Structure 1
Amino acid sequence: MKQAVLQNERVSVQLKPMVDLAKKAGLLKTRRHRIQSAQNGGYVSRFKGRGMEFDEVRLYQAGDDIRSIDWRVTARTNKTHSKIFREERERPIFISVDLRPTMNFATRGVFKSVQASKVAALVAWAAQLNGDRVGGQVFNQHGCQELKPANGRSAVLHFLNALVKPTLSITESFSLEQILNRLMQHARPGSLVYIVSDFRGLNNHVEKQLSKLAKHCELQLVHIYDPLESYLPSRGCYRFTNGKQETVLDTGDNQRVLAYQQHFKNRQQQLTTLCKKWRISLLECSTVDDPYEVLS
Structure 2
Amino acid sequence: METKELLKKVREIELKTRGLTKQVFSGEYNSAFKGRGMTFSEVKNYQFGDDVRSIDWNVTARFNEPFVKVFEEERELSVFMVLDISGSNNFGTKTKSKRELMLEVAAVLAFSAIANNDKVGAIFVSDHVEKFIPPKKGRSHALMILRELILYTPKSKATHLNEGLKFFRNVVKKRSICFLISDFYDENDYFEGLKIANRKHDMVALRLFDPAEKELPNLGLIKMFDAEKEVIRWVNTSSKKVRENYTNRFVECQKDLNTKFRKAGVDYASLSTDGKYLAELSKLFLTRSR
TM-score range, shorter chain: 0.7 to 0.9
Relative to 1, partners in 2 of residues 1:232 and 1:37: Cα closer, same or farther, differing over 3 Å? farther
Deviations 1:245-270 (A, max 9, x none): 64332123333222221111122112
* Structure 2 CA distance for aligned equivalents of residues 36 and 221 of structure 1: 18
Q: Which residue of 1 aligns with 2:38?
A: 52
What letter matches 1:150 in structure 2?
K
- Are residue 23 (structure 1) and residue 15 (structure 2) matched? yes
Deviations 1:23-69 (A, max 9, x none): 3324424635423454xxxxxx8955xx2023322358994568x66
What letter matches 1:230 in structure 2?
K
Relative to 1, partners in 2 of residues 1:200 and 1:229: Cα closer, same or farther, differing over 3 Å? same
SS of residue in 1 equivalent to 2:190: helix
Match among 184, 195, 198 for residue 199 of structure 1? 184
TM-superposed CA distance for 1:215, in Å, is 2.3
Match among 199, 205, 224 for residue 240 of structure 1? 224
* Structure 1 CA distance for aligned equivalents of residues 281 and 173 of structure 2: 23
What letter matches 2:116 in structure 1?
N
Q: Which residue of 1 aligns with 2:167?
A: 182
User: CA RMSD of the aligned region, Å?
Assistant: 3.7
SS of residue in 2 equivalent to 1:267: helix
Native 8 Å contact 1:92 1:135 kept in 2 = yes
Q: Which residue of 1 aligns with 2:288?
A: none
Relative to 1, partners in 2 of residues 1:242 and 1:274: Cα closer, same or farther, differing over 3 Å? closer
Match among 29, 40, 43 for residue 35 of structure 1? 29
* Structure 2 CA distance for aligned equivalents of residues 15 and 245 of structure 1: 35
TM-superposed CA distance for 1:293, in Å, is 4.5
- Are residue 277 (structure 1) and residue 263 (structure 2) matched? yes
Instruction: Number of aligned residue pairs: give it.
Output: 273
What letter matches 1:210 in structure 2?
L
Native 8 Å contact 1:192 1:217 kept in 2 = yes
SS of residue in 2 equivalent to 1:270: helix
- TM-score, normalising length: structure 2: 0.77
Q: Which residue of 1 aligns with 2:105?
A: 119
Q: Which residue of 2 aligns with 1:42?
A: none
Native 8 Å contact 1:46 1:279 kept in 2 = no
What letter matches 2:191 in structure 1?
E
Native 8 Å contact 2:88 2:226 kept in 1 = no
Match among 212, 216, 220 for residue 228 of structure 1? 212
SS of residue in 1 equivalent to 2:132: strand
Native 8 Å contact 1:94 1:191 kept in 2 = yes
Greater relative contact order structure (CA < 8 Å, 6+ sep): 1
Bigger mean CA offset, 99-108 vs 20-29: 20-29
TM-superposed CA distance for 1:119, in Å, is 0.9
Relative to 1, partners in 2 of residues 1:261 and 1:271: Cα closer, same or farther, differing over 3 Å? same
Deviations 1:185-219 (A, max 9, x none): 2345432211111011166x311111222222222
Relative to 1, partners in 2 of residues 1:288 and 1:127: Cα closer, same or farther, differing over 3 Å? same
Q: Which runs of 5+ in 1 are unaligned?
A: 39-44
What letter matches 2:266 in structure 1?
I
Identity fraction in percent: 27
Relative to 1, partners in 2 of residues 1:273 and 1:144: Cα closer, same or farther, differing over 3 Å? same
Relative to 1, partners in 2 of residues 1:98 and 1:201: Cα closer, same or farther, differing over 3 Å? same
TM-superposed CA distance for 1:232, in Å, is 0.7
Relative to 1, partners in 2 of residues 1:163 and 1:275: Cα closer, same or farther, differing over 3 Å? same
Native 8 Å contact 1:70 1:81 kept in 2 = no
Deviations 1:148-193 (A, max 9, x none): 211111211221232134497x689762222211122234543221
